[in-house]
Amino acid sequence: MLTDFVERIHAAALENRRIWVATVISSQGSTPGKPGMKMIVYPDGSTAGTVGGGQVEKDVIAEILAQRPEGLARRTFEMGGDFSSKPGMACGGSQEVLIEPFGSSSRLYVIGAGHCAMELSALAGRCGFSVTVIDDRPDWANKGKHPLAAVSVCRSYSGLDDYIDFSDQAYIVIMTHQHLHDEEALRACLRRKWSYLGMIGSRRKVGLLFDKLASEGVGRELLAGVHSPIGFEIGSQTPAEIAVSIAAQLIAVRNGAGANGTEGKRVQ
């Protein structure tokens, strides 16, 4: 049992996938969780292990998914369902839980899984991003094509909300195999929360799409926040070179250097 638990943490580390490990460090009264019990919580809400089950465990999961702590956190969960940062006692007892984050908090979503995406998912994975690749073609959206991606999803582009956790830790690159799919994905992401949103394409095609969106009422200021054409201008030609230009821009934004490699702020 413990071996399986450790292997899961190791697998998450290899994939640079964000997880949280909750450990019961003390308990008072009649509580289901006892010191030493552990549970892994994944970003999608799935779990492995247990901190005792019941409502308290549900509260632990809800707290982690709501707060997504970036550092160590101690929380006390009461049998009544309340929790706080300080120890407390409820009628049925309480248990104190240590929450530890593992893996990368920077989540890169590559929408489209073709040749450029293959190079980008590998490079970004090595640069500390937790990568999710989404494509509607099973021959491309798989672990064989994207071995360093934490997740490979094969589905249509109409349900991106099911797989993208829109937040200030979300980095989104749109590079599907059809211009209409790029437009569909951009529409789904544009008004959401993200740190970086970029779309591949020529200046002409991007300009035409942006004009179309502006005519529909999308603000030019919002469109200006989209990195398109994507990546730093380095004269890139091959998929590997394109991936380098995009990865460099992603890293610049993540490190607060701005999308042009100079000091700037993240797009919200």
Stretch(es) of the chain classified as CATH 3.40.50.720? 107-254
Q: What is the mean pLDDT of each run of 10 residues along the chain (268 residues)?
A: 82 77 92 91 89 92 89 87 45 86 87 97 91 96 92 90 88 96 95 95 94 95 94 95 97 82 37
pTM (two decimals): 0.68
Q: Which residue has the tokens 């990195």?
A: 227
What per-residue string of b and e applies to 45-74 under the rule 16 or more CB within 10 Å gives b? eebbbbbbeeebbebbbebbeeebeeeebe
Coil, strand or helix: which one is 31? coil
Question: How confident is the model at residue 264, as a pLDDT?
Answer: 35
CA distance 229 to 199: 7
80 closest CA partner among 47, 58, 50: 58
- Please tell us whether the domain made up of 107-254 is placed in CATH 3.40.50.980: no
> Please, what is the Cα angle at 122 between 121 and 124, to 5 degrees?
65
Tokens of 117: 């995406």
pLDDT tens across 159-214, in order? 898 889 898 889 999 999 999 999 999 999 999 999 999 999 999 999 999 999 99
